[in-house]
Amino acid sequence: MKKKIIENLKTLLYALVIALLIRSFLYQPFFIPSSSMEPNLLIGDRLFVSKYTYGFSRHSFPLSPGTFSKRILPNIPARGDVIVFKTPADNRTDYIKRLIGMPGDIIQIKNKDLYINDFKVNKKKVKQSIVINCGYENIESDFYEEILPNGIKYLAAYRKDGTMINSDKFIVPANHYFFMGDNRDCSKDSRFLSSVGYVNFNNLVGKAQIVFLSNNKSKGSFLKFWKWDKSIRFERFFKKIK
């Protein structure tokens, strides 16, 4: 009996070590709790983030140990990537946003248009008067397809009454990046310098790759399988993140 208990404990320990290695070096699951990345990521989406894409920093590991001061095997992220990072304010909270500004870039919003280095980002309206979530509020928005200078395309939502019509100029420091939520008027991101601001390269956790499960909690808990036909978004399973 004692031998069997020891063997079971060993098996459990091996499983935990393997899970820890996968989480630290390969893929980590994340949950989307807010609407800041709508219409591309929805509340209730569960996704896999690749930990190796940009190399490894202390934030690649549980509890962010202070062992590493620089990234190991670093790779520069691409403009337009959807990235999980630790907020500079506390180096603990996970945020997920789209990378808009590279080191040295000048970012600004003017008249509801995004400018990078004084050049307006091309966009075209694809849907109008769409009601989407913003915290406890539903807001009427227009959807635009934006095309970044490197050709990356994605949908961005702009509130019709334009709460974020204009912004200051943001000059991205060396070794830092500027992030924005795709739900432009409902995202706490690099535009808010006191709480998020410019994100150091070492704070990047990984690249969002794929949605593996999605559940609309407003229509039923995932545990209530008898409501799956209404709550589970089967069409989002294994959806690649762009």
Residue 36 catalytic? yes
If phi > 0 it is left, if psi is from -120 to 50 it is alpha, else beta; for residue 43 that is beta
Peptide bond into 39 cis (omega under 30): yes
From the candidates 35, 60, 86, 97, give the one annotated as an active-site residue: 97
Nearest C-alpha neighbor of 44 from the set 199, 165, 220: 220
Residue 97 catalytic? yes
From the candidates 36, 60, 187, 214, give the one annotated as an active-site residue: 36
Q: How far apart are the first and last CA of the chain?
A: 53
Provide the 3-class DSSP secondary structure of residue 8.
helix
Q: How far is CA 32 from CA 58, 60, 124, 211, 224, in A?
A: 23, 19, 27, 10, 20
Q: Which two tokens stand for residue 36?
A: 């800041």
Q: What is the DSSP string of 108-128?
A: EEETTEEEETTEEPEEEEEEE
CB contact at 8 A, 83 and 180? no
Active-site amino acid positions: 36, 97
